[in-house]
Amino acid sequence: MDYQMQNTLLYVENLSVAYGEKVVIKDVSFVEKDVTREGSVTGQVIAVVGRSGRGKSTLFRALTGLIKPTTGKILIADVATGVENDAKEVHEGDVGFVDQKYTLFRNKTIYQALMFALRHKDFSKEEKHNTITKYLQEWGLEKAKDQYPCELSGGQRQRTAIIEQILCSGHYMVLDEPFSGLDIGNIEDVKKAFSLITSLHEFNTIIYSTHDIELAVELADSIYVIGYPTIDGKTADYGTIVKHVDMKERKLAWKEYGVEHLEVVKEIKAAMLTS
């Protein structure tokens, strides 16, 4: 499938993050550009996989500006200036984040939280109500809409957190393990949300982590494996990018999942097992 690369949307150079003295990720560099295809709006879907503790969530906290890197820089496109290829350093709030624990406002019901997510949108109260009602119905949350987070199941919290970010994010959205703990119907809902988001605007970029390699290979057009690198025959104790699979280059992006995708799954699993 033909595609072109345009503006740089995400530029990460020489990133490292430490908690106190402990370096958790190091030497992380990558570039993601706006991918365009004639006749369709094509947002970017980027998957990050890797074994537990390798630093996926840490990378995400840096990408969303929640923690300050020890070294390196993270730039995102600054669309507000209208200047092509203008970039700025990422700051907290620039990138929507659904964290692994699905943090919600403790004292807001689902409905109130979603209303709050729409606070900056130029909609009438009725439009906001209708938008929220539509999501609640589609995502099976209608009955729970007046419940508080402590009264919700894990899956309900997660879906609320995802809808919240869909409603208030700009072009960038980072989701830490959005598929874990969901039933098969909810997984389809999240998949649909991904394709909806990426069809809305060229610049829309979803970055997500998952332990389900099939879901990385099926949905992403770019996949990064974070693992411990092997240096001089020894396994290092910090995470870095040990493999990148460009599904576009392999002509597997935006394509029905098939035998060739399964080959990529195997390749990624092999890379994970040695890192």
Ligand X SMILES: Nc1ncnc2c1ncn2[C@@H]1O[C@H](COP(=O)(O)OP(=O)(O)OP(=O)(O)O)[C@@H](O)[C@H]1O
List residues near ligand X by CB under 6 A.
19, 24, 50, 52-58, 100
Q: Residue 198 and residue 194: Cα distance in Å, rounded?
A: 6
The C-alpha atoms of residue 139 and residue 188 are separated, in whole angstroms, by 10
Q: Which does 54 bind (CB under 5 to 8 A by kind): ligand X, Mg ion, none?
A: ligand X
How far is the C-alpha of 215 from the C-alpha of 2, rounded, in Å? 23
* 180 lies in the binding site for Mg ion (CB under 5 A): no
In this chain, which stretch among 49-57, 116-124, 224-232, 249-257 interacts with Mg ion, using CB under 5 A? 49-57
Cα(191)–Cα(138) distance, rounded to whole angstroms? 13
Helix (H, G, I), strand (E, B) or coil at 241: strand
Q: Residue 176 or 202: which CB sits closer to ligand X?
A: 176
C-beta of 52 vs 107, nearer to ligand X:
52
147 binds, among Mg ion, ligand X, none (CB under 5 to 8 A by kind): none
Binding mask 54-93 for Mg ion (x = CB under 5 A): --xx------------------------------------
Least CB distance from residue 25 to ligand X, whole Å? Answer: 8
**Mapping DSSP to helix (H, G, I), strand (E, B) and coil, where does residue 43 land?**
coil
β-pair type (87-89, 22-36)? unpaired
Helices and strands in the chain: count of H runs, count of E runs: 7, 12
**3-state SS, residue 265:** helix
CB of 223 to ligand X, least distance (A): 15
Q: Give the binding range for Mg ion (CB under 5 A) out of 51-59, 63-71, 145-153, 189-197.
A: 51-59
Q: Are the C-beta atoms of residues 261 and 216 closer than 8 Å to each other?
A: no
Residue 177 or 221: which CB sits closer to ligand X? 177
Minimum CB–partner distance for residue 47 and Mg ion (Å): 13
Taking the C-alpha atoms of residue 174 and residue 40, their distance in angstroms, rounded to an integer, is 23
**Residues 255 and 241 sit within 8 Å (Cβ to Cβ):** no
We find the least distance from the C-beta atom of residue 180 to Mg ion, in angstroms, to be 10
Q: Shortest gap between Cβ of 54 and ligand X (angstroms)?
A: 4
- Smallest gap from Cβ 102 to ligand X, in A, equals 13
Q: How far is CA 148 from CA 52, 58, 98, 141, in A?
A: 30, 28, 18, 12
From the list Mg ion, ligand X, none, partner contacted by residue 55 (C-beta under 5 to 8 A by kind): ligand X
User: Which residues sit at the interface with Mg ion, rule CB under 5 A?
Assistant: 56-57
